[in-house]
Amino acid sequence: MDNFKEKEIRMASGVKNDKGKPPLGLIDRRVMEEVSWVLDFGARKYGRDNWRGGFIYSRLYDAALRHIFAFIDGENLDPESGLPHIAHSICMLMFLLSMICERPDLDDRYVHAQPVPGIMDTTTPTLKSRYEAMMALAEEQERLGMAQRKERK
């Protein structure tokens, strides 16, 4: 049975129509459990559902990034909670998505001015062609380096 198509599940004589319902069974159970432990830690520390009071967006994405960077730097577990940094990050992103849906008034992202064409814009033909030329040069240098290493052997 294709789980990604709308389907009708028949059980005995009953009918269950899942059309338009999210396929929650696709969410990894282990991830949900780890995130739940982080939520439990936060509930004990700050109070149950404290996060629902609202946070400006930057507080949430800053915290998510701190946990991601700690993980990138080789630290798997948060020292305070003993729980995975990635689970903490997922919690922060869950809170952020909730704020986006429920509290658009807390959006404090910086609004950039319209970019000047050609400045820090990889889609501008001149900058894109410079980037492509730089990448081609790097590839050529790598090929030459490999050829020289083969000659030495």
Under the banding of pLDDT at 50, 70 and 90, the label for residue 126 is low
If you average pLDDT over residues 137-147, what whole number do you get?
82
Is a pLDDT exceeding 80 seen at residue 130? no
Amino acid at position 56, single letter: I
Nearest to 58 by CA among 96, 102, 87, 89: 96
Q: For 3-45, how does the pLDDT look when each residue is reduced to its tens digit (9 = 90+)?
A: 555 555 555 677 878 888 888 889 999 999 999 999 999 999 9
For residue 71, the surrounding DSSP H or E stretch is: helix 57-72
**DSSP, residue by residue, 96-143:** HHHHHHH-GGG-----PPPPPTTSS-TTSHHHHHHHHHHHHHHHHHHH
Q: Residues with Cβ < 8 Å from 99, sequence gap 6 or more?
A: 54, 55, 57, 60, 106, 107
**71 neighbors 85 (Cβ within 8 angstroms):** yes
* DSSP character at residue 8: E
Name the residue ranges covered by the structural domains of the chain.
Answer: 28-106, 112-153
Q: For 66-76, how does the pLDDT look when each residue is reduced to its tens digit (9 = 90+)?
A: 999 999 999 99
Nearest to 39 by CA among 77, 100, 87, 93: 87
Q: Measure the CA–CA gap between 125 and 148, rounded to whole angstroms.
A: 34
> Global pTM?
0.65
